Amino acid sequence: MRLSRAFLPTLKETPAEAQIVSHRLMLRAGLIRQTSAGIYAWLPLGLRVLRKVSEIVRQEQDLAGAQEILMPTIQPAELWKESGRYDDYGKEMLRITDRHDREMLFGPTNEEMVTDIFKTYAKSYRDLPRNLYHIQWKFRDEIRPRFGVMRGREFLMKDAYSFDIDAEGARESYRRMFRAYLRTFARMGLKAIPMQADTGPIGGNLSHEFIILAETGESVVYLHKDLLDFDVLAQDPTGTGDPSPVVDFWTSRYAATDEKHDVAAWDAIPAESQVTERGIEVGHIFYFGTKYSKPMGLTVSGPDGTPVVPEMGSYGIGVSRLLAAIIEAGHDENGIIWPDAVAPFACAILNLKPGDAAADALCEQLYAALPGEAVYDDRGERAGAKFADADLIGYPWQAIIGPRGAAKGIVELKRRATGERLELPLEEAVAKIKASIA
Amino acid sequence: MRLSRAFLPTLKETPAEAQIVSHRLMLRAGLIRQTSAGIYAWLPLGLRVLRKVSEIVRQEQDLAGAQEILMPTIQPAELWKESGRYDDYGKEMLRITDRHDREMLFGPTNEEMVTDIFKTYAKSYRDLPRNLYHIQWKFRDEIRPRFGVMRGREFLMKDAYSFDIDAEGARESYRRMFRAYLRTFARMGLKAIPMQADTGPIGGNLSHEFIILAETGESVVYLHKDLLDFDVLAQDPTGTGDPSPVVDFWTSRYAATDEKHDVAAWDAIPAESQVTERGIEVGHIFYFGTKYSKPMGLTVSGPDGTPVVPEMGSYGIGVSRLLAAIIEAGHDENGIIWPDAVAPFACAILNLKPGDAAADALCEQLYAALPGEAVYDDRGERAGAKFADADLIGYPWQAIIGPRGAAKGIVELKRRATGERLELPLEEAVAKIKASIA
């Protein structure tokens, strides 16, 4: 993308309404723009990151055996009356009346709808186990939306729903999602810690939150230091096979949110292994048995022909929220520092002197060598403005090309995360950048 | 995907509520399931096609220089009051009141919102031209939703919005989208004919509908036979450069919907060149000047410093509707016939005797050779049921593998569209299938 023709607006001023750093940076870097309280439009750079994050989530769901569907945003109220949640949900549910005076709602979650869909087709124990997920916009009418996409009203969520013939099967589905979640966050360069959690309005008796550590996190968490050293991608490189070793490993050390903190257990941990940090919730998984399948009449015939009510779980990842969490965990005073896996573009090509024949030619060569992975800052701005924008947006690499280097065919590469600088011939610079994408 | 573990449900009975063939086939083949009147969930196969169709739309928008953003589904009513359309839109607009009694709505289109967003950032003539698009769910509260996703209430639309400094620039943007639309539909195997159209609630004075010919189409169209022979992908293979020759070519022959039919002009065409057919609208483009930019206060400073009100156009493709249109244009008595470019999977592997060692081994080899492009029917169903399901769903290829052929390493390939059958060794079968994907 050539910046002279692109719609990648950055803001010089810090918007007054933004209280946390990720919100400020997302507005300033031109990732999002507010359209109503707690509702945002995604501008080109923000959308690119949102799609990369979504794609990692999708790949790991698929690897874990879940199958993608897409449920609509608007749901009929009747389904929620069947489960008994219609009245429970209160004012957070955006209730809608259509032209025929039918009660509808903008879905905040999909337990009821997916159970109803699955019921149409699943007839026998042979139709189990199944896990269906979708990545869809949800709405929760927060009384005080704030912190940008961290606590918005319209937000993108991945929610998966597992159906099993019995409790042991359901726990296996739960363990597979548990591992998939660890892998998903690790691939985005995040350290997410699973913590036992309350089940809240979803219900059930087994639940974990996945929490990312960040100084600016919304709540305090307590964990054993060992958890910081576990690397799920090294522990279980394929992500297939029995998930139990990974789950057992991660649940064998103390980790708790403020709500669930057990002071006696905490005090039993050696002081040098106690870590108290702030955290941001990015995922939440639940096993809730027959809480929805039973009232909604989902049964299948078991191996002996008698009806069985499937055991269910649900598994959520806040996809749009993840962008804010990634920024909270990775930024400095100059702007965002994207992990390679989710950066909007791998590289910004900064032409320090548009119009200089050698600089123009080298920039064009580099740009052509990185299709879809580079923005080319060909604007007639001064060099300082280009550096500032590239730092603010946080491309992992900056390729700085001026007349002097260009005359010798040399590209100066700057790594955003470390500030490290390398002077390389074109081909080596391309190889360096491509290696970080793969 | 192995059918024994997949959620790809087909229905034997034709659902009584489905009046048109695409609706019947989408329900029977397990592409969609209704969740409310005019609202559908997309099951795995339907979602795969929806994403392939979306991706072709996206690629052609990008090629034409449009930039992708994503606006939210929920819009504030104030924007629509600024443009004057809030009252005009009537009951088709799904109006919503949030918990703070603010008037909101589920967007049926985005002229107001995109103008408001663009206004924040565009300051100078150097910020033009720009074309911003998104692919997002829309809602129109049809009084009588019917024909499945052909006329649903919640539907996926691609809508693009161009901003130009003057009328000539706006007409150039219009021509670029005109060509992009022809290319988009052609790549999906569709013959779409642009026809002059009324501008309706969008407004403006230049507009074309893109209409696909199908016996089961919703309205009658009249066109010159020459238009059926034009192939835009051959006429203008790169899709870049000046779009005028393509636009002039396609607008030089008679083509009109019933509404715009000009009997005198029609009668002037030799009878052997007159084609009267039924058609389905799949795209609609508009040039409407300053209809939104002016009341909403969008101005930029021109080259001489004086304020200029940008000229705008908008460009819609009914993405979810396209699936129904593709099926209306491509089916037979046994089911859907997907064009290669949008098929959910290129090939169904039909194992006629699961448990036979040679058949199982050959199926597994073929399945491994087509990652992500094959479903493997490994169910314990009789062969007839497998043939029927594969015909119904309409994979472009069926690889039929039984004990006899497998013993010789031979795959029987059936081409769904023609019924042609080939007996090939594994590697040649793989090459044949892969050639149709590329």
Query: Which H or E run includes A363?
Result: helix A357-369
Residue closest to A11 by CA, chosen among A36, A38, A45? A45
Specify the pLDDT at position B17: 84
Say whether B99 and A91 touch across the interface (CB within 8 A).
yes
Mean pLDDT of A425-438: 95
Q: For residue range B4-48, what is the model confidence (pLDDT) as tens digits?
A: 999 999 998 888 889 999 999 999 999 999 999 999 999 999 999
Residue closest to B66 by CA, chosen among B116, B114, B123, B119? B114
Q: Do domains B21-335 and B345-437 have the same CATH topology?
A: no
Which chain B residues are Cβ-neighbours of A74 within 8 angstroms?
A: 36, 39, 94, 106, 139, 153-154
Mutation choice for B interface testing from A1, A4, A43, A161 by most B CBs within 10 A:
A43
Say whether B7 and A98 touch across the interface (CB within 8 A).
no
Return the residue matching tokens 């949800």: A138
The domains of chain A are located at 21-335, 345-437
Specify the pLDDT at position B205: 73
The C-alpha torsion from B411 through B416 and B417 to B421, rounded to 10°, is: 30
Considering CB atoms only, which of B36, B65, B117 is closest to A76?
B36
Specify the pLDDT at position A427: 97
Q: Please spell the DSSP secondary structure of A40-103, one letter per residue.
A: EEEPHHHHHHHHHHHHHHHHHHHHTT-EE-B--SEEEHHHHHHHTHHHHTGGGSEEEE-TT--E
Say whether B72 and A137 touch across the interface (CB within 8 A).
yes
Mutation choice for B interface testing from A7, A48, A117, A143 by most B CBs within 10 A:
A7
Q: Residue A294: pLDDT above 70?
A: yes
Q: Residue A422: pLDDT above 90?
A: yes
Q: For residue range A331-342, what is the model confidence (pLDDT) as tens digits?
A: 999 999 999 999
Strand pairing report for B397-401 and B347-351: parallel
Which DSSP category does B287 fall into? E
* β partners of residue B135: B158
Mark out the alpha helices in A213-278 (DSSP H runs).
232-235, 244-251, 263-267
Specify the pLDDT at position A114: 98
Mutation choice for B interface testing from A70, A100, A104, A132 by most B CBs within 10 A:
A70
Percent of chain B with pLDDT over 70: 99
Determine the distance in angstroms separating the CA of A121 from the nearest CA of chain B, rounded to an integer. 6
Which chain B residues are Cβ-neighbours of A113 within 8 angstroms?
A: 35, 41
Say whether A42 and B94 touch across the interface (CB within 8 A).
no
CA-atom Rg of chain A in angstroms: 24
CATH topology for the B345-437 domain: Rossmann fold (3.40.50)
ipTM associated with this complex:
0.96
Give the model's confidence band at B202: pLDDT under 50 very low, under 70 low, under 90 confident, else very high.
Answer: low
Which CATH superfamily includes the segment(s) A21-335? Bira Bifunctional Protein; Domain 2 (3.30.930.10)
Say whether B91 and A73 touch across the interface (CB within 8 A).
no
Closest Cα in chain B to A113: B35
Strand order in the sheet with B94-97: B74-76, B103-106, B94-97
**Alpha carbon distance A344, A216 (integer Å):** 23
Mutation choice for B interface testing from A36, A117, A156 by most B CBs within 10 A:
A36
Q: For residue range B292-331, what is the model confidence (pLDDT) as tens digits?
A: 999 999 999 999 999 999 999 999 999 999 999 999 999 9
Mean pLDDT of A32-41: 97
Say whether A35 and B72 touch across the interface (CB within 8 A).
yes
Say whether B69 and A113 touch across the interface (CB within 8 A).
no
Q: For residue range A176-227, what is the model confidence (pLDDT) as tens digits?
A: 999 999 999 999 999 999 998 877 766 677 899 999 998 888 889 999 999 9
Mean pLDDT of A47-53: 98
Determine the distance in angstroms separating the CA of A100 from the nearest CA of chain B, rounded to an integer. 8
Closest Cα in chain B to A90: B99
Say whether B36 and A91 touch across the interface (CB within 8 A).
no
| Lookup: tokens for B95 | 């109006």
